[in-house]
Amino acid sequence: MRWVFVGASTIASQYMLGAVRAQDGGEIAWVVSGSAAHGAAWAAEHGVPNVTTDLAEALADDRCEAVYVSSTNEKHLPQAMAAIKAGKHVLCEKPLAMRITEAAGMVQAAEEAGVTFATNHHLRCSGSHRAMRALIAEGKIGKVLSVRLFHAVHLPPHLQGWRINDAAAGGGVIPDITVHDADVVRFLLGEDPKRVVAQMVASGMGEGVEDSAMSVWTMPSGAMVMSHESFTHPFAGSGLEVHGTEGSIFANGVMTQEPVGEVELVTAAGRVPVEVSRHNLYEQGVSDFYSAVAGAGRAAADGPDGVKSLAVAMAVRDAAKLGQAVDVDYGDIQ
């Protein structure tokens, strides 16, 4: 499969180039960048043969079957829709769009065009999260009562930029990290958050956008979720806990792009380490995308998954702005 990369981004260079090239026949044929100079330098550094600032030029290449979108958030909608119109399969970074209606429109357009459309939620591709999901599904902790999710980190300087100072580009910790945590909870529990309460602040890094948020979500099953995200916590660590009537799961250091961290299961029988796969998260995600394209499986996170994670994140932001509980609106997405 030949790819067009839209966005000469850090995540594209650090993770997605290797993930695509790890697949049988995986090749990046084009990179599209808003800056000719940056795009040329990026292409030269990473051995990508074609570079352009004109998305239409790259999409006109009939040899390319797939498009990966990792531009700033406000560009996802027009770029993904152009790729869908060109008949390409699309793997889009989260959040899919700036608004729920826009994200849902992308999913609908892909369905009508008969192409695969997926969201690049990497955390559900990790061995730790997949092992936790299996433990929950097997009833190892009984009925789930609560989830505590801590994802307050320090955003490194090379990733700051628009994420901390440009609301129009989709900056802020809620669309950047809360959206991931929403997907994790949905993946682990197999249900969609129903109502949220929240607060958000700028705690030293955000300029016109929030850089820290805390929220509590109610699930249809009655389980409660407590979630904490930040760009400003250099020593907090990350992880999550799932507590049930018959046991608890403790996962430390797992809210990351790397296959690291530890998972423990605690029940009346004692505390035991959980064996997890240490495979590459992004290679897994691209492999699952290939399976979906081939009609042999589903993408790790499909279009509706991306719409729903965005819906939760936007509900958290609305709840924080309004100072009241907000019901999550998933629109027509089932």
- Torsional sign, CA 94, 138, 259, 152: positive
DSSP, collapsed to helix, strand or coil, labels residue 43 as helix
Domains of the chain, residue spans:
2-121+284-301, 123-278+310-327
Q: Which residue has the tokens 């809360």?
A: 178
Q: What is the pLDDT of residues 269-289, one digit of tens each?
A: 999 999 999 999 999 999 999
Instruction: Report how far residue 298's alpha carbon sits from residue 67's, in angstroms, rounded to the nearest whole number.
Output: 17
| Token reading at 238 | 């990350």
**Of how many residues is the chain composed?**
334
C-alpha distance across the termini of the chain, in Å: 30
Closest CA to 119 of 55, 53, 184: 184
The CA distances from residue 2 to 9, 34, 48, 87, 272, in Å, are 18, 21, 11, 13, 44
Amino acid at 70: S
Closest CA to 284 of 35, 87, 15: 15
CA-only gyration radius of the chain, Å: 19
| Token reading at 182 | 């929403």
One fold for both 2-121+284-301 and 123-278+310-327? no
Q: What is the pLDDT of residues 101-147, one digit of tens each?
A: 999 999 999 999 999 999 999 999 999 999 999 999 999 999 999 99
Domain spanning 123-278+310-327, CATH class: alpha beta
Pick the CATH number of 2-121+284-301 from 3.40.50.720, 3.40.50.880, 3.30.360.10, 3.40.50.11540: 3.40.50.720
The predicted pLDDT at position 167 comes to 86
Instruction: Report how far residue 296's alpha carbon sits from residue 292's, in angstroms, rounded to the nearest whole number.
Output: 6
3-class secondary structure per residue, 138-206: CCCCCCEEEEEEEEECECCHHHCCHHHHCHHHCCCHHHHHHHHHHHHHHHHHCCCCCEEEEEEECCCCC
Q: With beta carbons less than 8 A apart as the criterion, state whether 129 and 239 touch.
A: no
Instruction: Report how far residue 230's alpha carbon sits from residue 168's, in angstroms, rounded to the nearest whole number.
Output: 19
Entry pTM:
0.96
| Token reading at 274 | 């959980």
* pLDDT lower than 50: segments of the chain: none
**Residue 91, φ and ψ in degrees, nearest 5:** -115, 115
